[in-house]
Amino acid sequence: SQQGEEDPQALSIQEGENATMNCSYKTSINNLQWYRQNSGRGLVHLILIRSNEREKHSGRLRVTLDTSKKSSSLLITASRAADTASYFCATVISSGSARQLTFGSGTQLTVLP
């Protein structure tokens, strides 16, 4: 089963509104990353939050991490039509030098102009 599971599976909002996506995972992690995928394209890294961090900002993005609940959230403020994409959380487990990411199933965000 997927290490990370996003919620909701699909989200539709108006331009200018905020979008919040959630991710839950099962095992202890070293860090959690969020990626964006535009239709027909590869994934693009957005932000990385380490297990000892609780909140991180990057432009209009805000990520929180609650390791006690094994969950993370991605907030996109003042959304734009160009933010329409699929958003994936990915976890890196705490295991030696393992570098592989385990991706969730993604949230499809649609921002209506």
Residues β-bridged to residue 75: 20, 62
Asked if 67 touches another protein (CB under 8 A), the answer is: no
Asked if 59 touches another protein (CB under 8 A), the answer is: no
Restricted to residues 36-55, the positions that interact with another protein (CB under 8 A) are 41-45, 48
Q: Least Å distance between CB 23 and another protein? A: 13
What token pair was written down for 101?
Answer: 């990411």
Question: Of 27, 10, 20, nearest to 91 (Cα)?
Answer: 27
Asked if 72 touches another protein (CB under 8 A), the answer is: no
Q: What is the DSSP letter of 28?
A: -
Residue closer to another protein, measured from CB, 8 or 16: 8
